[in-house]
Amino acid sequence: MFVSNIRTEFYDVLSTISNRILLLVGYDVDALCACKILQYLFQCDNVLYTLIPVYSKTSLVESFKKHKEKLKFAVLINCGSTIDLVEVLEPEDDVVFFICDSQRPINVYNIYSETQIRLVMKPEDCENIPAYTDIFRDEDSADEDEEMGRPTEETIMRRRDKRLWEENRNKIMFEYSQISYFGESSSCIMFDLAWKMSRDNNDLLWWSIIGFTEQFVMNKVESDKYIMNASLMQNHVTRLNCADVGTFNSVSCMKISFDKELNLSLYRHWSIYDSMLNSKYTACKFKLWSGKGKQNMREFLASIGLPLSQCRQKFLSMDMEIRNNVCSWMEANCDKYRLDQMVFGSFNSQFGFKGKFSATDVVLAISALLESTEKEKTAADKFQDASDALRKGEVNAIKRGIELAKLRLEAIFKQVQNFIALKHVRPAGPFLHATVPTSTHDFKYFCYPSCLTMLGNFLLEAHVCSRRSNRAGSLPLILFAPDEQEYDQCMVVGIPPLSERSPRNFFGKAFEQAAEQARIFINQDLFYTSIVYIKRNDQAKFLDALFLLLS
C-alpha cells in the first residue's frame, strides 16, 4: 500500500524503533543520493541501520537472507518494487518493507499488500494501476474441479464467468506491465522528507539535484519532466543560497546556483574540442565520425570567434574573455547551425575555491565510479568510492570520477564511429540490431548496464542522423555486448525509437515473450527489465523470435 504521510507513516515509524534497520540500495546514482539523504536523517536521530548495495535480484535475495535474523524493518531504495517482494524474499509475517523506487510499473502485489509492503511514493506518479476487483478474486468455497456427478447449469455458468474473468485479468495485467518507465526520483522524495522535517540544507539539496539530473542525463525521463523538476528545485536553491546583505559566508560553505549550461559533457574539466567530439548532442548534429563533420565543427567554432588553438586547450587554460563568453557566443550562433538544444538550464555547485561542478558532470563522474573497470575492486568498494565522492569537499574524488568518465565517453564515441564506418548497425524488419565485438579494446566498459545503455542511445541517434531515410527514426535498437565475467553469455539492451520522443521502454515484455517462443533461457536478474542476459549461441534464435513478435 502507499504511504500517505511520508513523515508519520515512514520516518517516525523507523526513528522510534530499537531494532537495527536493513537499508538495501540499488546500484545507480539516484539511489545513492537518496541513500545519502536518508543516512543524514538517521544520524540526526541516532537510528541504527545496516547499509548494503544490491546490484541485482540475486544479490537482493542473498543480502536479505544474510541479515533477516531479528529483522523487523527494511528500506529498499530503487530496488524491489517491480517484483513480488514477499514471494521472492519469503520474510517472516512481522517484517515490514518500505520501498522508495523510481522504476515503474510497480508490482500489483506490492501495491495491494496491506501489511508487509509500504510504498514511499505518490500514487498519482504510477499510471493505470488496475482496480483490485479486476485482478484479484475470492475463490468459491466449493472446489468446482472436484464436484461429483453431472455438472449443473449453474456450475457451467460459474466456470464460464471465471474463464472470462481470467482472460480479462491477463489482458489487464499485460497492458499494465508491458511498458517500463521512471517516475519521480527517489532522491527528490527523500529531500522532500527532510524539508518537511525542517532539516534540509545545501548538501541534501545538492544530492537531490544530482539524483533527478541523473534521470535526464541517462535518458530515463523526458526533458519536460526534467524542466519541471528543475523549476521546483530553483525555489529551494534560492531559499538556501540567498545571503542577506551584510552577512558573511564562509569559504568552506557550498553554494548552489542555477544558470545556462552548454550541452557539452565535462567541458569545464576538458577542452572544448574534446568535449564537443565526445558529447552525444554535438557529435550527432555535426556527424563528427566523418571528416566532413569535423570540418563543419571547426567552421562553427571559427564563426563564433573561438580559435582552434584555444579550443584544444584545457578549459581553465583558455583566455579569460573566451572562457567567460563561450556560452553566450554559442547560444547566439546556434540557430544558424540548427543547434536548438545547445544551451539548457542546469545547476552548479561551488565549494570555496576548489572548483565549480555542474550537476551533469557529477552524474557522469559518480556513474563512472560505480561502474569502474578496476577488477581488484568489488561492487561494494565501488559503491563506497562513489559515496565518498559525494561528501562535501571531496573534490579530488570527484575529479577522479571525471577522469574515468572521460575514458568512458571516449570509448563510447570510438565504438559509435566504428559501428557507423563499418555499417554494423543492421536492420531486421521492425528493429535494428548491433553487437559490440570482443576484439575491441574498450569492450570492458560495455559490460555494465549504464555504460551500455549510453552507447545504445548514442548509437541509435548517430545511425538515424547518418541515414537519409525517415524510417530509421521509427525503429528501436537491440544492442548486444559480451560479458567479461561469463564468456558464453552476453548482455542485451533494448533502446526505444527516437520518433517516440519518450524513453518509455517496451522491451522488457518483448524479451520475455521472445525467449518463451524461442524456448531459450534469458536471465532477467537486473532491476531494469529492458536489460537481460542470454547465451551467445542463442543470439540468432533470440533475434528471429523478436522479428516474428514485433512484425
Percentage of the residues of the chain whose pLDDT score is greater than 90: 67
Q: Say if residue 203's pLDDT is above 80.
A: yes
Task: Report CA 326 to chain centroid distance, whole Å.
Answer: 31
pLDDT digit string, tens, across residues 404-432: 999 999 999 999 999 999 999 999 889 99
Question: In b/e form, how buried is each residue of 110-125, taking b as 16+ CB within 10 angstroms?
Answer: bbebeebbbbbbeeee
What mean pLDDT comes out for the span 105-124?
Answer: 92
Enter the C-alpha cell of residue 504: 518509455
Residues forming a β-bridge with 344: 261
Q: Say if residue 228's pLDDT is above 60.
A: yes
Q: Does domain 1-138+153-200 have CATH number 3.40.190.10?
A: no
Report the range of poorest mean pLDDT among 47-61, 89-103, 236-250, 378-392. Answer: 236-250
- What is the reported pLDDT for 104? 92
Q: Say if residue 373's pLDDT is above 50.
A: yes
What mean pLDDT comes out for the span 511-515?
Answer: 93
Residues forming a β-bridge with 115: none
Domains of the chain by residue range? 1-138+153-200, 201-263+342-406, 265-341, 424-550
The backbone region for 78, taken as left when phi is positive above 0, alpha when psi lies in -120 to 50, beta otherwise, is: left
Cβ-defined contacts of 497-504 (< 8 Å, 24+): 497/460, 497/473, 498/460, 498/461, 498/464, 498/473, 499/473, 499/474, 501/222, 502/222, 503/181, 503/182, 503/219, 503/220, 503/221, 503/222, 504/179, 504/180, 504/181
pLDDT digit string, tens, across residues 66-92: 998 889 999 999 999 999 999 999 999
Report the alpha-carbon distance of residue 80 to residue 98 in Å, rounded. Answer: 10
- What is the reported pLDDT for 159? 86
Report the alpha-carbon distance of residue 368 to residue 448 in Å, rounded. Answer: 10
Confidence bin at 248 (pLDDT 50/70/90)? very low
CB atoms within 10 A of CB 351: 20
Q: The domain 424-550 is classified under which CATH number: 3.40.1130, 3.10.310, 1.25.40, 2.40.10?
A: 3.10.310
- What is the reported pLDDT for 246? 45
What mean pLDDT comes out for the span 103-115?
Answer: 92
Report the alpha-carbon distance of residue 42 to residue 198 in Å, rounded. Answer: 14
Which element (helix H / strand E) includes 74?
strand 73-77
Q: Say if residue 230's pLDDT is above 80.
A: yes
Percentage of the residues of the chain whose pLDDT score is greater than 70: 96
Q: Measure the N-to-C terminal CA separation of the chain; round to a whole number of Å.
A: 38
Cβ-defined contacts of 123-129 (< 8 Å, 24+): 123/2, 125/183, 125/184, 126/183, 127/181, 128/175, 128/176, 129/176
Enter the C-alpha cell of residue 487: 564468456
What mean pLDDT comes out for the span 146-155?
Answer: 66
Average pLDDT value over all residues in the chain? 90
User: Are the beta carbons of 523 and 535 closer than 8 angstroms?
Assistant: no
Q: Say if residue 142's pLDDT is above 50.
A: no
